[in-house]
A and B are shown apart, each in its own frame.
Chain A
Amino acid sequence: MNDIATTAGNTHPMISMTGVEKWYGAFQALKDINISVAKGEKIVLCGPSGSGKSTLIRCINHLETYQKGEIRVSGTVLGHQAKTIDAVRREVGMVFQQFNLFPHLTVLENCMLAPLRALKLSRQEAEGRARQLLERVKIAEQADKYPAQLSGGQQQRVAIARALCMRPQVMLFDEPTSALDPEMVKEVLDTMIGLAEEGMTMICVTHEMGFARQVADRVIFMASGAVVEEAPPAEFFSNPKHERTRKFLGEILGH
């Protein structure tokens, strides 16, 4: 199922952020962010709460605005006009901490809504896609239930399928397992690992360090709105360079 990562020209990085800065009034939330993500690359973003990691990925699909710098998504400059923003959002899937499934629509309808309305697919095509992807996150038998009838883990897998129905080139995960009961974390992580193995470009904000070790090409550590350190996971975990990174890892890994 390689249709998810469509073949695009490899000349551009999938995502590039250059000199991105963001303020909330006087408070600077992002400081001079320069990140480039190649096609098929998997990035794990971590850092203490309030470090700006969620804000950063939310800038990529323009859920947050930024005041300085430039963000390109597969070569397109993400301007502030509605047209380019919509175009980018169709290419970038996002999974939220709180799932954000639509309560009044069934699982199947949740998955079909955007393909029907934003991509203008036919009903048949949208339904085919939705069923296929629900199958893939192993939840096809729940297609006609409503979100409130599912467990948290099931809801988050539906949310992943819903995002994949747009056939995005990039997937953003904003703490996808933080709101889950511990016994449900694995099913969601397994789904994400499967997606990574198929070559999806992914940026994940998460504290699941096991997941980072297993799938990340690079781990980026942020603190106080700035990128402090980035390294391949092996190096990041065994030989962190900055004091802040060491302190964070000590706290999160409990040693």
Chain B
Amino acid sequence: MNYTLDFTPVIEGLPSLLTACLGTFTLAICGMLLATVIGIGGVVLRQSKIAPLRWLVIVFVELIRNTPFLVQIFFIYFALPLTGIRLDPTPTAIIALGINGGAYAIEIIRGGVQSISKGQMEAGLALGLHKGQVFRLIILKPALRAIFPSLTSQFVLLTLTTSIASAISAYELTSVSQRIESDSFRSFEVYFTVTIFYLVISWLMMRLFALFSARYFAYPVK
């Protein structure tokens, strides 16, 4: 084989690739925020006294965890317009990422809540706080701390999953790299470089989570 690697198109495309990284970050961060909200809300509903609400959460979690993200994002992409919501691909992708990540977050955070001793709940109630206050002020933070490593890896996975949003042409790194690839036919060079980009992005995400954890969960435990 006398194929010579030629990175010229990659170098020429570098500015647009770097800007596309911002798109990936946007998808990832917004997706995580939505996933966290769904995760915490789902845990609250999962503990509800009303049985159908609990079942709803279980069905949601299992449906999402047992189907591919690609199918989910297509489904949402086609389903949203039918409900009268017209959104660009990027917000659609954020919703899909949030829903997908949220289902995993529910299970992870639930594990954290269950790891908190019953005495914490009782101490809060004995002080005259409501159940909601006890959850919000007493249980939540130690629970999140307990499962933060799992949440971190789940959210790094969510960051990598943003690449699948290219299937509905959301603005992010993979879709931009596909455009450069189809213009230049330097497929390997483009995708190899972009793979390295992702490696750096996921490393940055992990650093970000470690920093957050060091600040937010600074209190000592035995």
Chain B residues with Cβ below 8 Å from A90 are: 128
Answer whether residue B220 sits at the interface, using C-beta atoms and an 8 A cutoff: yes
Residue of A nearest to B140 (CB): A104
Which bucket holds chain B's interface residue count?
A: 20 to 34
Describe B's contact surface by its main secondary structure. Answer: helix
Bound together, the chains give a CA A102 to CA B145 distance in angstroms of 13
Answer whether residue A237 sits at the interface, using C-beta atoms and an 8 A cutoff: no
Chain A, residues 162-185, CB within 8 Å of chain B (1/0): the string is 110010000000000000000000
Q: Which of A61, A100, A163 contacts B120 (CB 8 A)?
A: A100
Do the beta carbons of A61 and B220 come within 8 Å of each other? no
Answer whether residue A195 sits at the interface, using C-beta atoms and an 8 A cutoff: no
Answer whether residue A191 sits at the interface, using C-beta atoms and an 8 A cutoff: no
Known: A103-B142, A117-B133. A61 touches B126 (CB 8 A): yes
Which residues of B are interface residues toward A (Cβ below 8 A)? 117, 119-120, 122-130, 133, 137-138, 141-142, 145, 217, 219-222
List, sorted by A's number, 8 A–B pairs whose CB atoms are closer than 8 Å.
A100-B117, A100-B123, A102-B120, A102-B124, A102-B142, A103-B142, A103-B219, A118-B133
Other A-B pairs, 19, CB within 8 Å; known A96-B123, A117-B137: A63-B125, A63-B126, A96-B119, A98-B117, A100-B119, A102-B138, A103-B221, A104-B217, A105-B219, A113-B137, A113-B138, A114-B127, A114-B129, A117-B129, A146-B220, A148-B222, A162-B127, A163-B126, A163-B127
Which residues of A are interface residues toward B (Cβ below 8 A)? 61, 63, 82, 86, 89-90, 92-94, 96, 98, 100-105, 113-114, 117-119, 146, 148-149, 159, 162-163, 166
